[in-house]
């Protein structure tokens, strides 16, 4: 799946995603451990600074490329999708394939269970989004 083939998404509140498979059964401790690789470039707390990557607090339910005061690649400035667990799963699987031309030099997370664990952790750790 790529940003171009992602299609329409339903935006829910974090608690609603976390009540559904695969996130209801996700291993949050594993997700927290794996999210350390995210924290090499991103902060996740409210009011966190942008680093090499933008602060991730509150990003679920928001348009991609919308963090203020962060200089995005042209690819992310031009894309039209919302960050949902489905979009993040595809991004984390292969960032360069999901959105060619993005500047994130991260190879991805191979295992679907590991991605679900990271996403479940981030749903909790990055704050509640507005939802749809």
pLDDT at 78 over 50: yes
Handedness of CA 120, 121, 125, 126 (dihedral sign): negative
Q: What is the pLDDT of residues 30-41, one digit of tens each?
A: 999 999 999 999
**Average pLDDT rounded to a whole number, residues 83-89:** 97
- Residue 131: pLDDT band by 50, 70, 90 thresholds? very low
When pLDDT is averaged across residues 95-100 and rounded to a whole number, the result is: 94
> Is residue 129 pLDDT above 70, yes or no?
no
DSSP state of 82: B
CATH class of 3-125: mainly alpha
Confidence of residue 128 (pLDDT cuts 50, 70, 90): low
Strands (E), 1-132: none
Structure-token pair, residue 47: 């009011």
Whether the predicted pLDDT of 132 surpasses 80: no
């Amino acid at each position: 799946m790529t940003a171009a083939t992602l299609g329409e998404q339903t935006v829910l509140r974090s608690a609603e995603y976390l009540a559904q498979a695969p996130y209801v059964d996700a291993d949050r401790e594993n997700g927290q451990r794996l999210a350390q690789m995210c924290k090499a470039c991103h902060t996740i707390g409210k009011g966190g600074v942008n680093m090499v990557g933008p602060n991730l607090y509150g990003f679920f339910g928001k348009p991609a490329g919308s963090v203020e005061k962060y200089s995005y690649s042209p690819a992310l400035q031009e894309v039209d999708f919302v960050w949902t667990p489905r979009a993040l799963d595809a991004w984390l699987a292969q960032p360069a394939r999901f959105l060619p031309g993005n500047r994130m030099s991260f190879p991805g997370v191979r295992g679907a269970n590991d991605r679900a664990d990271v996403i479940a952790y981030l749903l909790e750790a990055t704050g509640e989004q507005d939802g749809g």
